Structure 1
């Protein structure tokens, strides 16, 4: 098999027409250039150059080799570009997060995709448990969760925090515990977790979510507040999800005496190779939360 480096040296020599300047261009010695040309001649067992002092001309075989070698050298250069150039922004990146986080992140990641046509965003909204499981099973490239993972395969780094909000119908501001019990709870995939975190810090009567009647359930982040706006119950959601609801005048975001923030964690499977395109998305995610 011919060494492609020899072919590149031979083509450069023919293009420049001078051994010394070829050596300078390729950061080689002049004897190194001559040696690689001789190795090509030994390989084909024919002379490639007719030397005349410091000048030379090509033999018929030399001209034929130059024509073919140019194509090979160009092809190898294109291969370098295809493999290395912009590899960090080409291909599919699979992400999962709770819906509240996705409402904030997804539009920004689509803006990133607009900048790099080779990038494909695969974004799924899911509760923490599903994100954690998908990471452990290597079904996604990265996840964002509102709690640390307990699985050994998943590593988490603190990303940001997001305030939890008690959301009631507009007709029921500053609700007492009695009012909440009467309203009942609109549940969602992370409902028990969010409600327990916020209510336990602000209502001494609260012991667990089973104390509340479940008046509805939705796993669609943009629909969870719809029954609340109709007066059918209350719920607890992160700020981004609440602020994204269209009918703000129909709900009440209640300021409580003991605010609770959920920490957000950038989560990865530590056994999975981190592709450069995934790192590019991670950088964009961090930037998104740093701008808050």
Structure 2
């Protein structure tokens, strides 16, 4: 590894062209400058200068080392400039949430990228557990979850409520009760289906569902592509439970409906990040989009 102090002395000497003046600029003695150059040559196993009296010329190896020193100094200047200025219109945004939330937010995030081409938005649909793990391990910067955060390294900002609905085709909702639809049509399974359906059963207070359990239901199909979950539902192939926002941003929203309940079913929604991590200014765009989206 090249000693940066010796390298800086060499760079300064090349630019000034005089040992004594270099020593004055660096608050060193002339023998100290010579010693740095000699140590740098020894560490690199090359001769950097050819000396003629009080003057010198760069060797070919010396020219390469000087160019490297210039590049290193330029990179340091760029880094320092970046550290001084947090550009809200450039950089990388990493975010994870459930498929329904990603579906609702992604069009607005793409519009944001159109407006600010230097922004790079990476989003991933994932369940609560994986989102929390990814943020904790530093794989992503932020996410949205409906779970209570137990990890002391993370902080959660309350955003609002995420409403859950039992969804069927328009015909099924108009002709069948919720329990009859589940029994006759079965359930469209997806990564969050069991959790969502059990939550719906517990909180909807529908008498017909009070004794129902996930293991009792017939699963007619499984799909992990969120945008396609409502396709079989719209065709009368099963029913499913999803956040209400998933319907609004689905291509099948005109072909499905929800069973009404006296008590709405919802979960608190949190924006999560590392407690001691200050997010870059560009994340304000993300938070503004989240706050402007209706999830209930």
Taking structure 1 as the reference length, the TM-score comes to 0.66
1:203 counterpart residue number: 206
Q: Distance in 1 between matches of 2:294 and 2:236?
A: 36
Q: Which moved more, 1:143-152 or 1:82-91?
A: 82-91
In structure 2, the residue corresponding to 1:139 is in which secondary structure?
coil
| C-alpha contact 2:164 2:200 (8 A) present in aligned 1 | yes
Q: Distance in 2 between matches of 1:247 and 1:88?
A: 36
1:167 shift after superposition? 0.6
1:269 counterpart residue number: 274
| C-alpha contact 1:90 1:277 (8 A) present in aligned 2 | no
Structure 1: runs of 5+ lacking an equivalent: 2-41, 45-74
Q: 1:104 to 1:172 in 2, by over 3 A?
A: same
Q: Distance in 1 between matches of 2:155 and 2:220?
A: 36
Q: Distance in 1 between matches of 2:134 and 2:167?
A: 30
Q: Which moved more, 1:186-195 or 1:171-180?
A: 171-180
Q: Distance in 2 between matches of 1:128 and 1:224?
A: 19
Over the aligned positions, Cα root-mean-square deviation in angstroms equals 3.1
Find runs of 4+ consecutive structure 1 residues off by over 6 angstroms.
75-80
Q: Distance in 2 between matches of 1:137 and 1:182?
A: 44
Q: Distance in 1 between matches of 2:94 and 2:127?
A: 15
Figure out how many residues of one structure are paired with residues of the other and give that number: 225
Alignment of 1:76-225 (within 5 A): 82-173=82-173, 175-176=176-177, 177-200=179-202, 201-204=204-207, 205-225=210-230
Residues 270-289 of structure 1 show CA distances to partners (whole Å, capped at 9, x for unaligned) of 24x22324542443244424
Q: Distance in 1 between matches of 2:266 and 2:253?
A: 21
2:237 counterpart residue number: 232
Q: Distance in 1 between matches of 2:123 and 2:94?
A: 6
Q: 1:149 to 1:181 in 2, by over 3 A?
A: farther
Q: 1:149 to 1:189 in 2, by over 3 A?
A: farther
Q: 1:151 to 1:211 in 2, by over 3 A?
A: farther
Q: Which one of the candidate residues 265, 271, 283 is aligned to 2:287?
A: 283
| C-alpha contact 1:154 1:269 (8 A) present in aligned 2 | yes
Structure 2: runs of 5+ lacking an equivalent: 6-23, 27-73
Residues 20-77 of structure 1 show CA distances to partners (whole Å, capped at 9, x for unaligned) of xxxxxxxxxxxxxxxxxxxxxx759xxxxxxxxxxxxxxxxxxxxxxxxxxxxxx999
Residues 121-161 of structure 1 show CA distances to partners (whole Å, capped at 9, x for unaligned) of 01111122221221122110000112223333332121111
| C-alpha contact 1:109 1:284 (8 A) present in aligned 2 | no
In structure 2, the residue corresponding to 1:222 is in which secondary structure?
helix
1:95 shift after superposition? 0.5
1:252 counterpart residue number: 257
2:13 counterpart residue number: none
